[in-house]
Structure formats: C-alpha cells, structure tokens
Amino acid sequence: MAKKRLLEAINKINFDGEKAFIPYIMAGDGGLNSLKTKLLYLQDLGATAIEVGIPFSDPVADGPTIQSAGERSLANGTTLRLIMKEIESFYEVVKVPLVLMTYYNPILSYGLKKFAVDCERIGISGLIVPDLPIEESDTLRMELASTDVALVPLVSLTSPAERIAKIIASGEGFIYAVTVNGITGVRDGFDEQLKQHFVSLKEKSPIPVLAGFGISTPEQVVNIGALADGVIVGSAIVDAFHQNDLSKIQALIQASKKKVLN
C-alpha cells in the first residue's frame, strides 16, 4: 500500500512555495488530557504534520529538554497504550498527519501487529523509531506494509554513501536528515558541510528531505529550511509549551511560511 497521506501533505506545502514545518511534542507532558489541545493549537497555527513523542525510560537520541519532558510524562503514568487510547478519542478532528516518535521496546511490548493495526485505525500517518536500524526493520516494515503508516528513516551526517542509498531506497513519508552529530537540543550553529550534505540528499531522494535536531529559532527555521524541504523542531516547542510561551511557537511556525523561489 502506498504511504500517501504524510508525503502528500509535505508535497502540497512545498508546491505552494513554503517549507514543511513539523513540530514535536511529548505526549503526557503536562498531562495526557492536554494532548488534544496542543495538537489542535499546532494544527490551527499551520503545522504541516505533528510529531508525537512517546516517553521512554532510556532514550538515546533525546537531549535534556526532551528527556525532562519524557520524565514528567512518565511520572504522570503515561504509556503507549494510554496515548493510543487518548488519540483514538479525538483523532477525527485532527486533520494534519500525526507521526509517532517512539523507541522500539514500547512497540514490542504493545505487539507489532496490534500496533500497526491500531495506528491505521486511529489515523496515525507516520512512525519514527530512532533505535531501529534499517538492517533490523523488516519485521516492523512487514506489519506496516498494508497500512498508510510511513516508516520514516533517519540519515546522519556520518552515514556513508552506500548506507544513505539503502536508507533512501527504503524511505517513506520523508527522509529525516539529522543536522548535527549527537542528541537533540538547542544549538547556536551547524556544520559548515551541511549545505553540501543536503544538496546530495535531495539529489538522491525521490521523497522530501526534512532537517531536524538543534533547530530552535525562527532564523534557523529559515536558514536550515532553505537547504531542505522543511524542518522538524522539537526541544524549542517542548520548552515553549512547558513555559507557556506560545508566542515562541507562533514565531517558529510563521518563519516556515516565508515563500521561497524554486
């Protein structure tokens, strides 16, 4: 089955001359009953899609801001099953694609087949699993094959050309291009070779290439977004919600709406 919804949402934004903007939130941070409010708020601001983080006790890709959000969520008793149940209660009013970001262990505990079926049933459009390498993804990929849930791959700055080719060939929805070596979090600058890295990825990839990790200001949304088809912003969004600084979120999303010349 073609993975269409997430891909089409990004392509539509790009066709209109804008960059895709995917904010990340941690489900259960501030209480699971706040999830619907946050999703609808981001949708109303014009998010292209929304990445929903699943809290995990041993994250490997998350920086301190998202780790702290995950700890607050876990302290509230949040689990993957409860998140899925909560999304099921309101998913019909969420019009933008939802992308779950989870580590592999919660999916295994949930049950691969049941997870795939439930994701399809409640309208999940994408899945990011940072600790699942492409070489070990076939089992999950098979369960998702009959759904419209795209398994979004990550590409790092240090990935060799041969591996990048394999990742791109398996890519669904979009290619998540990590802009830094390391974990998520706010950064002041980026590698000077980043531009060439994105030129190469976009030349090779038949699907959109989005930049993520370390993008935290409107200026970075514009500058890094210019290299890619869009950006993913996590720590800055999570922190803004935690501090109730909604103007910061508005400024970040607005920066992605600047028209670009093709």
| CA atoms 83, 86, 88, 93: torsion sign | negative
Rounded (to 5) percent helix, strand, coil in the chain: 45, 15, 40
Map 17-53 to HEC letters: CCCEEEEEEECCCCCHHHHHHHHHHHHHHCCCCEEEE
- Beta-carbon contacts of 238 under 8 Å, excluding residues fewer than 6 positions away, are 24, 25, 26, 29, 65, 66, 69
Q: Which CATH superfamily is domain 5-255 in?
A: Aldolase class I (3.20.20.70)
Task: Decide: pTM greater than 0.85.
Answer: yes
- Determine the Cα–Cα distance for residues 212 and 195; give it in Å rounded to an integer: 14
User: Which of the following is catalytic: 62, 118, 148, 229?
Assistant: 62
Spell out the per-residue pLDDT of the chain, length 262, in tens.
567 899 999 999 999 999 999 999 999 999 999 999 999 999 999 999 999 999 998 877 678 899 999 999 999 999 999 999 999 999 999 999 999 999 999 999 999 999 999 999 999 999 999 999 999 999 999 999 999 999 999 999 888 999 999 999 999 999 999 987 644 444 454 556 788 899 999 999 999 999 998 899 999 999 999 999 999 999 999 999 999 999 999 999 999 987 654 4
- Residue 244: CB atoms within 10 A of its CB come to 9
Q: Which two tokens stand for residue 125?
A: 């459009």
Residue 181: the pLDDT is 60
Q: HSE on the CB side for 10, CA within 13 Å?
A: 30
143 is catalytic: no
User: Which of the following is catalytic: 29, 51, 86, 239?
Assistant: 51
Looking at this protein, which amino acid is placed at residue 185? G
62 is catalytic: yes
Residue 244: the pLDDT is 96
Contact 238, 25 (CB under 8 A): yes
Residue 102: the pLDDT is 96
